[in-house]
Chains A and B, each alone.
Chain A
């Protein structure tokens, strides 16, 4: 079935990227007062990174060739 190897590897890469984005020390970089477009920095960063991961996964899944 849908067991394209390259798709699986790409998704695992996204998983690893997420592990880095959502953990110390990267979070600590944004864990400070300040805001972007009126939204607190940490809140903005986490939701942005989250949306990025979902976008990547959607792109990987929907553009696969099998």
Chain B
């Protein structure tokens, strides 16, 4: 038996646990060992998105529209993909400007406008109140139902109950007290509540487990698995239609608009902004939340449809509200403990939402609505008050109580006309109105204060007219004629068919008209006039937040004089003197100064003080307060533009500089390479010179030696004399040949050689060369084979040069063949479009290492220092130059000890030769 006192004491015990977690979280934060500095906890705390709407309402929605509960969770999943751009930017901006709420964000962006901050606050409070009433309704209903256990009794209409017997009123008051304990125990310059976030993350786990417990119980306890439930659905036509959506344009349209709406809500609901941006410890945590938060949404939704159809089958007569299936199914099965756990899960979902939402709203109400008004109210003499931190806390506590009471009033007024999800969607549509001003504000520098005010007002007005007022009409506060006949009976003004636009559901209808009005007015208002100085400055700070170093830039737009002795007490009045001194001291230490007295009151310090104050009372009020103690010299629009231009010029210069330095680096690398090449050439030239002189000296030495012998000894007999003279002549010839070849090579290399190109027959060239070298072959008794293909087309080349090449190859072949056993084969063949000539010998062959060097100048196989050189070492390089001149190729295939094959090819069409000649002529 579940008595009222059992339920109440379990609930209070649970709230006590939450408070203990929050207390511990705050203690850890004070000790500098943050409990919530963890990406998983950040992702879990974002799940404050799942309220009783999700916990109870999704099932209700699924019971009436089937899959229609899903877009509310698919939207955030999609949006998570854009967080890396959008959310990261908002977090960065908020941290740089110490922004503490969504109202503060909008007001700061558009020139720290108090009016705009106030407007956003009003829209947020009015828009969120239905959402808070939804939580009250859910908790109060679930409490009432649980109280009647084991009977299943639907709660009576709230309005029918006397005020003092209405459990929702007490729940509202308990939640208010609890929120005050959580959120406003002390005033923090950054408005962060670490303990609260830890508690919220814990609540996310509890509500997930509770929902999964019901889901598993229904799916596997009452029924036997997914397959069983859905196969039973097949036999009930009414349920079967829930498995698909109506195949009409309107149902896809409403699917799309709900997805879009939830995409905006996940960004701009005050509690999501509070958790995702204000309470963010480290922007790196965002990364994991991008996938973990959607995963949470997926898991909590798996059992929604089974519970919904399970409930519909279990209570077929329809007298049990589908919004309560999560609770009533375990109750109907007499699962006391599970029912209580579900109630606690629902309580988690509700308290999490209410705590964070009211804290966020109370901060906005205090900083952007009440404080600016009080500070303007000169007769209160707040300027002279010494410590205002107590006043700030009082305002916030009052705001929390007021907001919850307003939520309760809406619950009494309109709560029964709608299902849970319907109420929530009214709130979603309200916060969607912030999207143009915020998204526009962080990507478009041209958005102005006027545009933002116009857009918000227009969007809010359309929202009120098409969604909020009809919700009053449906609950009987306004005449229902308002919906049916339109304002003053004008059909065109029917709030849910505005200007005759029919065929859309009320949410899509409101979303379309309000966004049209909002975006239209925002853009038109922004383009109407040039932005003011402050708007330009703030716009640039927001849009270019990633391009600028955080913190220091804001001070560039401020000029004036101030006194530390005036700033410090000012901050102290709002934060408390101790906290203010500590902050200033920390600032001084960061600057490398020993004490506060050493601080200079420069623009940086003023900016720091203003930011510090902005954390406590909002950007707009902070600007007013700081302005009251410093003498600010206003910057003209031209000066601000100059600062901005200067900044962009500096950026442009640095880009240019970077580019130049890259070019310079590339040029340096090229120069280095060229230098290397030159050095190499120089070395080669030196090598060449020393080799040439060495080669010249060898014949010269022998010529000189024999000449000296002849000169000194006139009695040398004729035979000797003839022999010596023959040697001299031979060496002279060798010398001449060497010099000719050097000249020849030099000519070819420099392109000055004379070429007599003509159509020539390679047969003739080979025969002639063979004839010319026949004495060499016969001297060493070496055989010469010729395998010449017939019908080889003529090639264009220089006949004498080709003979020179052939002679060189043949004489080389002879040189390296052994006497008598040597065999040389010359092959002529056609391969594709080239003619190929091979000269194969069976001599000593050429090792792998030497195969490249033999084509270098003066390189010969074997040791030239010891063995008598057998040639000049220029034959092969010259031959290769000649063949390459005619567009061919000369190479060698060989293995040491197995002979060598020298081959060359010449192109058949002769184009190669002509092309090469053209190049040479030029």
Contacts and interface: CB of A to CB of B under 8 A. Distances in A.
Nearest to B287: A61
Contacts of B488: none
Interface stretch (B76-84, B108-116, B698-706): B76-84
Contacts of A47: 298, 302
A40 B283 contact: no
B220 to A, nearest CB: 14
Contacts of B290: 11, 57, 61
Contact of A32 (B85, B244, B287): B244
B362 to A, nearest CB: 31
Interface in A18-66: 18-19, 22-24, 27-28, 31-33, 35, 37-43, 46-47, 50-51, 53-54, 57-58, 61-62, 64
Nearest to A32: B244
Interface in B65-88: 67, 70-71, 74, 77-85, 88
Nearest to B256: A23
A3 B284 CA distance: 10
Nearest to A4: B84
A2 B247 CA distance: 43
Interface string B730-766: 0000000000000000000000000000000000000
A51 B298 contact: yes
A15 B75 CA distance: 10
A23 B283 contact: no
B81 A18 contact: yes
A12 B79 CA distance: 9
A38 to B, nearest CB: 3
Contact of B244 (A2, A12, A42, A64): A42
Interface stretch (B146-154, B226-234, B438-446, B821-829): B226-234
Nearest to A19: B78
Given A32-B244, A39-B230, A58-B291, A27 B80 contact: no
Nearest to A58: B291
Contacts of B295: 54, 58
Nearest to B67: A42
B227 A37 contact: yes
B808 to A, nearest CB: 61
Nearest to B229: A38
Contact of B252 (A8, A14, A24, A64): A24
A15 B255 contact: no
Given A42-B67, A51-B298, A58-B291, A33 B243 contact: yes
B252 A28 contact: yes
Contact of A23 (B79, B81, B252, B292): B252
Contacts of B88: 2-3
Contacts of A7: 84
Contacts, number: 112
A20 to B, nearest CB: 10
A36 B706 CA distance: 108
Contacts of A62: 291
A8 B290 CA distance: 11
Contact of A54 (B227, B288, B291, B305): B291
Contacts of A15: 78-79, 81-82
Interface residues of A, number: 38
State the main secondary structure of chain A at its contact with B: helix
B85 A8 contact: yes
Contacts of B288: 61
Contacts of A2: 88, 283-284, 286-287
B259 interface: yes
A54 B298 contact: yes
B452 to A, nearest CB: 26
Contact size range, B: 35 or more
Interface in B771-794: none
A57 B165 CA distance: 50
A54 B77 contact: yes
B81 A14 contact: yes
B573 interface: no
B78 A18 contact: yes
Contacts of A22: 71, 74, 78, 259
B74 A1 contact: no
A44 to B, nearest CB: 10
A1 B92 CA distance: 10
Contacts of B70: 46
Nearest to A38: B227
B91 to A, nearest CB: 10
B230 A35 contact: yes
A28 to B, nearest CB: 7
State the main secondary structure of chain B at its contact with A: helix
Contacts of A42: 67, 243-245
A34 to B, nearest CB: 9
Contacts of B82: 11-12, 15
Nearest to A13: B81
Contacts of B287: 2, 61, 64
B546 interface: yes
A41 B243 CA distance: 8
A37 B227 CA distance: 7
B721 interface: no
Nearest to A45: B67
Interface string B241-272: 00111010000100110010000000000000
B240 interface: yes
A8 B84 contact: yes
Contacts of B352: none
Nearest to B39: A61
Given A1-B284, A18-B77, A24 B294 contact: no
A43 B256 contact: no
Contacts of B305: 43
B291 A31 contact: no
Contacts of B302: 47
A60 B83 CA distance: 13
B66 to A, nearest CB: 8
A19 to B, nearest CB: 6
Contact of A50 (B74, B81, B255, B256): B74
B84 A31 contact: no
A31 B546 contact: no
A13 to B, nearest CB: 8
A50 B83 CA distance: 17
A6 to B, nearest CB: 11
B708 to A, nearest CB: 81
A12 B81 contact: yes
A40 B308 CA distance: 14
A24 B254 CA distance: 11
Contacts of A61: 287-288, 290-291
A61 B292 CA distance: 10
A61 B24 CA distance: 31
Interface string B690-728: 000000000000000000000000000000000000000
Interface of B: 67, 70-71, 74, 77-85, 88, 225-228, 230-231, 233, 240, 243-245, 247, 252, 255-256, 259, 283-284, 286-288, 290-292, 294-295, 298, 302, 305, 546
Interface of A: 1-3, 7-8, 11-12, 14-15, 18-19, 22-24, 27-28, 31-33, 35, 37-43, 46-47, 50-51, 53-54, 57-58, 61-62, 64
27 contacts: A2-B284, A2-B287, A3-B88, A3-B546, A8-B84, A12-B81, A12-B85, A15-B79, A18-B74, A18-B78, A19-B78, A23-B259, A31-B244, A31-B245, A31-B247, A37-B227, A40-B230, A43-B67, A43-B243, A50-B77, A53-B78, A53-B81, A54-B77, A54-B291, A54-B295, A57-B294, A61-B291
Given A8-B85, A46-B70, A61-B288, 19 more contacts: A2-B283, A3-B546, A14-B81, A15-B78, A22-B74, A22-B78, A23-B255, A24-B256, A27-B245, A27-B252, A33-B240, A33-B243, A40-B230, A40-B244, A42-B243, A42-B245, A50-B74, A57-B80, A57-B294
Closest 10 pairs (CB-CB, A-B): A38-B227, A15-B81, A58-B291, A40-B243, A24-B252, A57-B291, A8-B84, A18-B78, A11-B81, A14-B81
